[in-house]
Amino acid sequence: PPVERFRELRDALRRLAAVATGDTRPTAVSPVTDLAEAVAAVNRACASAPAWSRLIWNEGEPPACADGSSYSPEARALSRIAEESVQLFTGPDAAELRACHAPGCVRYFVRAHPRREWCSAGCGNRARVARHYRRHHPGGVS
């Protein structure tokens, strides 16, 4: 089923992101434990629905580019996500890929500012609240 293919890709990407960021958090655990297996899963997903660019140019309108593919929308989405991940892991943003260290967060993000530590404002707020609680309630469970 298509859902299983998306889960396989998600698990592979989680393993690759953990390796790329040196993430050792317990939440970074992925069912895919082998790097080669994760890479193979991404490559399978990339090849699952080849796409190409199509030129669209109607009289009186500017030319436009559209994706062409003879595969289902689900297969195209899976392939596109995998292709984007390849670009992320191999492109200029790879050096800025980070694990969010907010309590309970399992996400990764591309750091756009040198001081950014969390994937979202919500995670940043949770981390600050947890730090404040620990400071004012020593020995307490946060």
Distances (CA, A) of 87 to 8, 58, 117, 132: 19, 32, 22, 38
The answer on 42 and 9 residing in a single domain is yes
> Domain of 111?
100-142
The answer on 123 and 74 residing in a single domain is no
pTM, entire model: 0.80
The answer on 39 and 87 residing in a single domain is yes
- pLDDT tens for residues 46-72? 999 888 889 999 999 999 999 888 888
The domain tally of the chain equals 2
Cα separation of 8 and 75, whole Å?
13
The answer on 6 and 56 residing in a single domain is yes
The answer on 16 and 33 residing in a single domain is yes
The answer on 141 and 105 residing in a single domain is yes
The answer on 124 and 81 residing in a single domain is no
- pLDDT tens for residues 86-98? 999 999 999 999 9
